[in-house]
Each structure stands twice: as C-alpha cells, then as structure tokens.
Amino acid sequence: MDPVVVLALVAALVVIFLVASTVRIVPQARRYNIERFGRYRRTLQPGLNLVVPVADRINTKLDVREQVYSSDPRPVITEDNLVVNIDTVLYYQITDPRAAAYEVADYLQAIDQLTVTTLRNVIGSMDLEETLTSREEINSRLRAVLDDATGKWGIRVNRVEIKAIDPPHTIKEAMEKQMRAERDKRAAILHAEGERQAKILTAEGTKQKDILEAQGAQQAMILRADGEAKAVELVFQAVHRNNADPKILAYKYLETLPHLARSDNNTFWVIPGELTEAVRTVTRAFGDQPAEAAQSGEAGTAGAGDRQTEGRTPELGTNWTPSLDAAAAADEAGKQAAAAVNDAKAEAEAAKSPQNPRRGHTPDA
C-alpha cells in the first residue's frame, strides 16, 4: 500500500478526532465543569461549546433542575424522652455548579446528615404532642437552617417536608384509646344536647297545645253562655210579649219533663217538687168547662154567691168542691202526666241499652 495514502488516512483520522474532541454539545438544564490540565477552567452552558482537545476535559456533569431527595426514617428523641421515627422529603436545586462540584465531596450525603442533625435539634425542644401538631413550624425551621448551610455549596433548598412521624407502638395504642375516648365523649355530649333540645321542643309544643286548647275551651264556653243567655232572653221576651197565663206555663213545664231522662249517664230520675203544683194547675184548666156546665144546669137553685164564682178557677185554700166531671178530668190529667213520666223513664233506659238501635236519639216529649 502506498505510504502517502496511509499518511493521508492517518491525518484524516487525526483531524476527525481533533474535531470530535473540540466540539461539546450540552443538553438543556445541564452544566459541565471543564478542567484544563486538572484545574477548573469554566462551566459549559447548554448548546454547542468548543474546548481544547487533550488539554480540556469534562470533570462533572450536573443537573440544575429542582430535584427531590427522600431520606430514610431516622430516630429522633423528643423533649419528653420518646423516640419517634421521622421521614423527610427535601426539594433542592443546584445554583452554582462549580461550588457543588468543588466545595463539598458529596452534597447529597452532606444534605442528608445536616437534615438529621437539624431535625434532632428542633424535635428535641418539643414534646410528642407539639411535634405531631407543629409540622409547619418544623418545616420552616429546617428550611431556614438547611438553606443557610447549603448556600456555600451552591445549592438552594426550596422546601423541606416531614413525610411521616412514627411514634412507638405503645404510644400509638395510648393515642388511639385517647382519641376513642374523646370521640365517645363528644358523641355523648352531642347525644345529650340532642335529647335536651328534643325535650325542650316537646315541652314547648305541649305548652302551646295546652294554651290553645284552654283558649278554645274558654271561647267555646263564652259563646255557649252567650247563646244560652240570648235564648233565655228571647224566651223571656216572648213569654212577656204574649202575656202567657199559668196554664200554658204549667203545660210547658210538664212537656219538658221527658227531657230530664235523655242523658245516657242517668241512673235514677228525681221528680221535682213542683210537679204536684203543675198537675194541679193543669187539672184546674181541664175542670173549668165541666164546672161551668153544672152551674148553668142549676139555674133555679143557685144563689147570688154561686153566680159570683162562675167562669173563675178556684184558688187553693178555698172551700170550693169540684164536680164529678172535674174530678174525673183531674184524675185523667194526673194519669197522663204519670204516663208521660213513665214513658220518659222507659225511653231513657232503652237508650242506655247497647242493643237499642235508636240509642243516641232524643226521645219525643
């Protein structure tokens, strides 16, 4: 093979190698630290970059995007001497690639150890209950300490979050019992409040019901009394306006006797003492006509004193003696009154009987 061709091929390969070694393409969100003969030279930015072949080399390639680092659970002692395991999540970002590469040997391990140390200092000043309820305060204090310490490493800590706080098993059981007791207490309080409110509402409803019923009964009694007063007044006016005589009043008295036995609760019936006077008045009313006929037939024997008594009803306490027809009429009137009373009593007893189909109807007078 011709030596010239060989030299040309070697020269071409050397040129290609030199060109490939000179050109460096950096992806977006990446940073490359360049060393020249072992000394930091510069940091390549994203895009096409040219370096000196053989003299320059890439030492570290760093990602400047925000990254997440989750540490393993670490035991931490609280102020009340309880050991809890705490998991943390760290959000950080490289702001200075040179410092991140040359100021610290392993920035992830350094951040992890610094997080544990700071967390123990913060949790050591709190008891368990405060630790469980003060996560925002713990996160803020951790972020402040880490951001100040990692700033010289070219790293910015954006957020620090506590992922989990795991107390001992015995403490968990005690906390669960306490929480269950608190829930039972709240449930009992709410149940008692509900029953109390229900009783109050029921009492208020009963009170309003009693008030309304009493007002209704009062209005009904007032209206009934007004009606009875007006009825009595109308009857009184009608009697005085028509100038009724004692005969009509006695007849009406006897006519109302059957109504005394109309109630279903009557077990006995009392005959008023005025019944004799009413029967006597009715008897006199029936005895006027026979007396007048007898007096007209005794025209030759009647004296002047007999003529003065014609057409008048004899008063009680006089020596007047009725005729046989007048006595028969009086007996008949008394029998009719007694029969009316007996009929009224029979109808009242029949109305009380459960087999009576007409029970509840008012017996005719």
pLDDT for position 218: 92
pLDDT at 322: 39
Taking residues 284-311, what's their average pLDDT? 44
* Residue 31 pLDDT: 92
The answer to whether 78 and 63 have CB atoms below 8 angstroms apart is no
Nearest to 60 by CA among 92, 90, 30: 30
Q: What is the pLDDT of residues 147-176, one digit of tens each?
A: 888 888 899 988 888 888 888 888 888 888
Q: Is the pLDDT of residue 312 over 50?
A: no
- Six-digit token string for 50: 């040219």
Whether 163 and 87 have beta carbons less than 8 Å apart is answered as: yes
Give the tokens for residue 291. 């007396």
Position 196 scores a pLDDT of 92
pLDDT at 139: 87
- In this structure, are residues 122 and 144 in contact, taking their beta carbons and an 8 Å threshold? no
User: Cβ contacts of residue 116 below 8 Å, gap of 6+?
Assistant: 71, 74
pLDDT value, residue 256: 66
Position 192 pLDDT exceeds 90: yes
Tell me: pLDDT of 274 over 60. Answer: no
pLDDT confidence bin for 301, thresholds 50/70/90 = very low
> Considering the chain, what percentage of its residues have pLDDT values greater than 70?
65
Global pTM?
0.47
For range 281-291, the mean pLDDT = 55
Break the chain into its structural domains and give their ranges: 3-63, 67-167, 169-243, 246-352
What span, in angstroms and rounded, lies between the C-alpha atoms of 207 and 342?
49
The structure tokens listed for 44 are 């390549």
Q: In sequence order, which residues have a C-beta less than 8 Å from that of residue 2 and are 6 or more positions away? A: none
Confidence of residue 53 (pLDDT cuts 50, 70, 90): confident
Neighbour-count burial for 251-278, b at 16+ CB within 10 Å, e otherwise:
eebbeebbebbeeeeeeeeeeeeeeeeb
Lowest mean pLDDT among 44-48, 111-115, 155-159, 173-177: 173-177
3-state secondary structure labels for all residues of 109-172: HHHHHHHHHHHHHHHCCCCHHHHHHCHHHHHHHHHHHHHHHHHHHCEEEEEEEEEEEECCHHHH
* Alpha-carbon gap, residue 230 to 228, rounded angstroms: 5
What are the residues facing 49 on neighbouring strands? 24
Confidence category of residue 73, pLDDT binned at 50, 70, 90? confident
Mean pLDDT computed over 14-43: 87
The pLDDT of residue 282: 57
Q: How far apart are CA 44 and CA 253, in angstroms?
A: 134
Structure tokens at 233: 């007044």
Average per-residue pLDDT for the chain: 76
Res. 221 pLDDT band, cuts 50 70 90: very high
Q: How far is CA 28 from CA 18, 31, 65, 156, 213, in A?
A: 25, 8, 10, 19, 89
Q: Please provide the size of the chain in residues.
A: 365
Is the pLDDT at 2 greater than 60? The verdict is yes
Return the bridge partners of 23, or none: 50
Label residue 248 by pLDDT band (50, 70, 90): low
The predicted model gives 329-350 an average pLDDT of: 60
Q: Which residues pair with 165 in a beta bridge?
A: 86
Instruction: Give residue 189's pLDDT band: very low, low, confident or very high (50, 70, 90).
Output: very high
pLDDT level of residue 324 (50, 70, 90 thresholds): very low
Q: What is the DSSP string of 276-342?
A: HHHHHHHHHHHHHHHHHHHHHH-TTT--HHHHTTTT-PPPTTS-----HHHHHHHHHHHHHHHHHHH
Q: Is the predicted pLDDT of residue 288 greater than 50, yes or no? A: yes
Task: Read off the pLDDT of each residue in 298-323 and give the average, rounded to a whole number.
Answer: 39
- SS3 percent helix, strand, coil of the chain, rounded to 5, is 60, 15, 25
pLDDT at 193 > cutoff 90: yes
Q: Report the pLDDT value the prediction gives residue 345, as an integer from 0 to 100.
A: 60
Name the pLDDT band for 278 (thresholds 50, 70, 90).
low
CA contacts within 13 A on the Cβ side of 188: 6
Amino acid (1-letter code) at residue 11: A
CATH code 3.30.479.30 for 67-167: yes
